[in-house]
Amino acid sequence: MSSRLKDKVAIITGATSGIGYRTAEIFADEGARLLLAARREDKGKALADKLGGDVHFVKTDVTKEEDIKAMINAAVDRWGRVDCLFNNASSGSPGDPVDQLSFEQFQTAMDLQAGSVFLGIKYAVAVMKQNGGGSIINNASIAGIGVGYGSMLYSAGKAAVIHMTRCLAIELGEFRIRLNCISPGGVMTPIFLGAKQKELSEEETQATVDRLAKVYDEQIPLRRAGKPDDIAWAAVYLAADESQHVSGENMIVDAGTSLGRNKQYQAQWAAWRREAMFG
């Protein structure tokens, strides 16, 4: 324990699985006072009990404004302030052809991917202005900066998060409120399985994620699929005073995936192109 976040009051949404779960563990180790927010009450309370110390759980649906407002108020009632908000909660969105998507599906995706971030910022900022500043971290994705890393709905939502972060970093800078994004690449969590995850047990889910990780190990430049730890430690930096001169950034944590395809893929593509041109 290095106490990089000692006595800071931090809120983490989507805290009961994947990136949120691991970030909660590391933030607690670094000395933060934690408010964990998620829909699954049993898992949230179990995590709070496991972490011990000054950790509290609030059942929260991040697509509901009243839940977000209550989440922020719970932190203020307990500790009197909010120093950091990690807008982490997210999920996959349908990847059907656009002419087969309903407007309801579009609205649902935007509410989760971008609307939840807007609401978190809106209510956290009101508190942070009174406290003299704070750090807001939004979990985006390389799907928000490139094409082919997720469905259209997911990608559009994450692109909105990135641009919202930049716009508000300017608007809120005078209040010493910093806003930054983290854009993961292929981090191996159940989010990759989408709706299929609901059909699997926890053991089957983990086995499927492990198989997927082996595929990513072969395809990305650093030859190692991402882990929740990779994003959690980036969040620690953005929450800590070490990053107090950093705002409006989109920190890409993707092992170089968004830079381009690896040599193996490039060689295969060149072979396909030669065959198409010359037979």
Q: Give me 55's structure tokens.
A: 């950790």
CB 82 within 8 A of CB 76: yes
- Based on the residue annotation, tell me whether 237 is a catalytic residue of this protein: no
When computed from its CA atoms, the radius of gyration of the chain, rounded to whole angstroms, is 19
Alpha-carbon gap, residue 20 to 157, rounded angstroms: 19
The type of residue at 272 is W
Q: Within the chain, where are the H helices?
A: 18-29, 41-51, 65-79, 103-110, 116-131, 152-172, 202-219, 228-239, 263-278
The type of residue at 33 is R
Alpha-carbon gap, residue 254 to 257, rounded angstroms: 5
Catalytic residue among 21, 149, 154, 216: 154
Backbone angles phi and psi of 187, in degrees to 5: -90, 125
Q: 46-55, long-range: CB within 8 Å, 24+ apart, which pairs?
A: 47/15, 47/16, 47/21, 51/24, 51/25, 53/28, 54/79, 55/24, 55/28
The type of residue at 257 is T
| Enclosing H/E stretch for 36 | strand 33-38
CA atoms within 13 A on the CB side of 78: 21
Alpha-carbon gap, residue 49 to 259, rounded angstroms: 41
Residues annotated as catalytic are 154
